[in-house]
Each structure stands twice: as C-alpha cells, then as structure tokens.
C-alpha cells in the first residue's frame, strides 16, 4: 500500500516537471520569436562603475526671443526657419508654427479636448506629435499642417526626435524606443545610464550632431546621450537658468500656487539649428526662448 502511494507521488512529480519544462520552452520560443527584429543588446547595461562621469558642457547665451507664457511647451523643433511647437494639457493642447524672432503664432491647430499633447519632431516633411496617455501619435504635413492621420502607440508619449532612419521616443523611464516612421514598428530599445546607474524621467528629446540631448523631468539640466551605448556623456547645468537670463518680470512665477514646481513651469524644450549650430531652449509657461551656443 505504502509503495503504491510512493510510486504515485513520483509519477506526479515527473509529470509536473515535464509540464514545467514544456511551459518554459514555449515561453522562451514565444519571446524569441516576438523579439526577432528588435535589438535589445543595449539593455545589457554595464555596472555604473564602468561608465565615466559626464563632462560639464559649457554654453553661452546669445539671444532670447518672446514666448507665449500660456504655452505649456512639450516639444520644440525648427523647420524652414520657424519653430514648430507642441503644447500640452487637456483642452489646451495644440500644434503651432511660431515666428522665431517675434514669438508670434503664425498657425495653430488645437487638439481634441481629451488629448494631452507631448513631444514633436519633423521627419521627411511629416510632423509627428505625441500624446501623453492617449496612445496616439498624430501625423501632419509639415508644409501646410494638414492632418495625415494617427498611429497607435502602446505606451506613454513624452519626447520624440529622430536619426537618419528611426523615430526615437521617450516615455518617462530610462528607455528610448527606436521605431520605424510611418508604422512605429519597434527596432531597438536603448537603456540610458550614467556613472550612478539608470537615468529615468527622460522627456523632451533632440538629435544634435549624432547625440541625443534630453530634458530630464524634475531636474535642472540637459543630458547628452550616446545613441550607440546609452551612456550619458555630457550634462548642461540649467539650474536657475530662467531667473539668471530672463529680461522679463518673473513675479508671476513666485506667487503661491504659481511657482515653477507648482505650476509646472519647468525646463522643457530643445530645438537645434544644424546650420548655425545653435540650440534653442525654453520651458513650460516661460516668457522666452533662449538661443545658446555650446562652447
């Protein structure tokens, strides 16, 4: 009787082990198939001790231009000598063409009330505008702002830029997603790290001379990222930048309930002119866009 019970237990254990083995094989097979075209090698991050401390990037403020203080800036781009700006907040989100010197809004399309718009970039004369939690990327003809449709995006949308063949999207983590324009098919996931470890809160993005520059939400600096390794190689210190450089009365940002941290009026907006080699920097609700040059 006892021997029968032992035999039965052994058979059950063997059967369970076989089932677990089959499940593990199927999971491994499924995962490898679904990621067949996705480069995840950059996710094998080295230890922080292997990454050099980012260098301090020195800059000179050359000029400033007026900026709409009602614009909750989420993305900034230069196209044909004008700014293209995406602004956020529900019922206030928009896509704009802005005259650089005067800050005058030349053309504006308002998003639907339920849309909280985020970053923007222009690739092959097509504007790609992210939405935060609406899981859509909106497409427009950059020449006339005609809406071309939208594409589904499974995650959140924060910032967007592009290299020669990919759109590059951030979603508030330490990851950057390289996707195909026109389809958003995922090609690569890049993990971003510095000498302290993973760098999260990646927000507005801009490609500058082969490197990705990024605002990091809730931090007063811009980081320079090597797109091959994901390592942060440089940092632009922007602490108290607006207060030190603005020509305008900033008392509207010092009243209780309206401070930068309370109102959200923080650094967020990077555009690059590849011809003049100048960067343009602004923030949400800022009164100016600043023209700077890295030394």
pLDDT of residue 31: 35
Local structure of 236: helix, strand or coil:
strand
Tell me: do 28 and 69 sit in the same domain. Answer: no
Six-digit token pair at 153?
Answer: 């995006």
CB 88 within 8 A of CB 65: no
Tokens of 5: 């019970």
* Residues 221 and 154 grouped into a single domain: yes
Q: Which two tokens stand for residue 2?
A: 């006892």
Return the closest-CA partner of residue 163 out of 274, 89, 290, 80: 274
Tokens of 149: 């449709």
pTM above threshold 0.75: yes
DSSP class per residue in 245-270: H--S--GGGTSTT-SHHHHT--EEEE
User: Which residues constitute the domain of residue 12?
Assistant: 1-33
Residue 175: predicted pLDDT: 98
The answer to whether residues 45 and 88 touch, using CB atoms and an 8 Å cutoff, is no
Which CATH number is 103's domain given?
Answer: 2.120.10.30
Residues listed for the chain: 295
Q: Is the CB of residue 275 less than 8 Å from the CB of residue 38?
A: no
At a CB cut-off of 8 Å and minimum separation 6, what does 162 contact?
121, 123, 168, 181, 207
Residues 203 and 227 placed together within one structural domain of the fold: yes
Q: Domain total for the chain?
A: 2
- Site of tokens 């993305």: 75
Q: Are residues 56 and 111 in the same domain?
A: yes
Residues 24 and 145 in one domain: no
27, 68: one domain: no
Residues 26, 48: one domain? Answer: no
pLDDT tens string, the chain, 295 residues long: the values are 434 443 444 444 344 444 434 333 333 333 333 444 566 545 555 566 678 899 999 999 999 999 999 999 999 999 999 999 999 999 999 999 999 999 999 999 999 999 999 999 999 999 999 999 999 999 999 999 999 999 999 999 999 999 999 999 999 999 999 999 999 999 999 999 999 999 999 999 999 999 999 999 999 999 999 999 999 999 999 999 999 999 999 988 777 766 666 778 899 999 999 999 999 999 999 999 999 999 9
28 shares a domain with 46: no
Nearest residue to 259 (alpha-carbon basis) of 276, 243, 247: 243
Asked whether residue 15 falls in the same domain as residue 149, the answer is no
Q: CB atoms < 10 A from the CB of 40, how many?
A: 12
- Could you tell me if 110 and 193 lie in one domain? yes
Please check whether residues 101 and 123 belong to one and the same domain.
yes
Same-domain pairing of 201 and 278: yes
């Amino acid at each position: 009787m006892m021997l029968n019970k032992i035999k039965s237990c052994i058979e059950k254990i063997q059967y369970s082990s076989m089932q677990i083995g089959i499940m593990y094989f199927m999971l491994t097979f499924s995962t490898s198939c679904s990621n067949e075209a996705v480069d995840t090698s950059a996710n094998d991050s080295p230890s922080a001790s292997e990454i050099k401390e980012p260098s301090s990037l020195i800059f000179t403020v050359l000029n400033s231009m007026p900026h709409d203080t009602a614009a909750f800036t989420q993305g900034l781009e230069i196209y044909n000598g004008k700014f293209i700006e995406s602004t956020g907040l529900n019922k206030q989100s928009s896509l704009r063409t802005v005259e650089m010197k005067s800050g005058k809004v030349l053309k504006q399309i308002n998003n639907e009330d339920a849309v909280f718009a985020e970053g923007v970039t222009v690739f092959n004369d097509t504007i790609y505008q992210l939405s935060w939690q609406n899981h859509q990327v909106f497409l427009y003809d950059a020449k006339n702002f005609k809406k071309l449709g939208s594409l589904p995006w499974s995650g959140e949308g924060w910032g967007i830029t592009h290299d020669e063949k990919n759109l590059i999207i951030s979603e508030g983590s330490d990851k950057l997603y390289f996707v195909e324009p026109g389809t958003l098919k995922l090609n690569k996931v890049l993990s971003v790290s510095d000498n302290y470890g993973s760098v999260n809160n990646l927000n507005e993005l801009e490609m500058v001379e082969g490197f990705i520059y990024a605002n990091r939400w809730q931090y007063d600096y811009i980081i320079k990222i090597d797109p091959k390794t994901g390592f942060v190689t440089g940092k632009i210190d922007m602490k108290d930048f607006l207060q030190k450089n603005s020509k305008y009365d900033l008392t509207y940002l010092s009243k209780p309930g309206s401070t930068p941290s309370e109102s959200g009026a923080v650094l967020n907006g990077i555009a690059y002119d590849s011809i003049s080699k100048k960067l343009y920097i602004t923030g949400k609700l800022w009164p100016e866009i600043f023209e700077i040059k890295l030394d």
